[in-house]
Structure 1
């Protein structure tokens, strides 16, 4: 059985969920990443399917900063 990565929508949901579970509200995520509220909502809802590399990188950087 081969390993498959989850669809991008699910991966983004997980990433945003990790950030939210750290206690950061959406308004703070938007401010820290430069994303629009609509983009963040689409990611949380699993509707974002083609994010830019920069968008994903900003979210990953934020998550990593919060884990420290």
Structure 2
């Protein structure tokens, strides 16, 4: 089975954060990533996210203890 791409993982993290009650504006404030970029990621419209974007969202995702255990 193939590993999900960075784009797919980013989309999953953004969707997970939204499902956890975090809005796009709040997510943007906490990650310093633009609302437009987060919206595109959430809707699967992002190709090749920057390392900075990916790592900022991943850090927030992990800090909110959303990683499956």
User: Is TM more than 0.5 here?
Assistant: yes
CA distance in 2, matches of 1:35, 1:59: 8
The answer as to 2:30 corresponding to 1:24 is: no
TM-score (norm 1): 0.84
Contact 2:28 2:38 in 1 (8 A): yes
Where structure 2 has 5 or more consecutive residues not aligned to the other structure, the ranges are none
Where structure 1 has 5 or more consecutive residues not aligned to the other structure, the ranges are none
TM-score (norm 2): 0.83
RMSD across aligned C-alpha pairs, in angstroms? 1.5
> How far is 1:8 from its partner?
3.5
CA deviations on 1:5-53 (whole Å, 9 max, x unpaired) are 2243322211101111221111100000111111011101101111111
What is the number of residues matched between the two proteins? 66
CA distance in 1, matches of 2:41, 2:47: 8
Q: Deviation above 3 Å: which 4+ runs of structure 1?
A: none
Aligned residue in 2 for 1:50 = 48
1:3-42 residue pairs with structure 2 within 5 A? 3-42=1-40
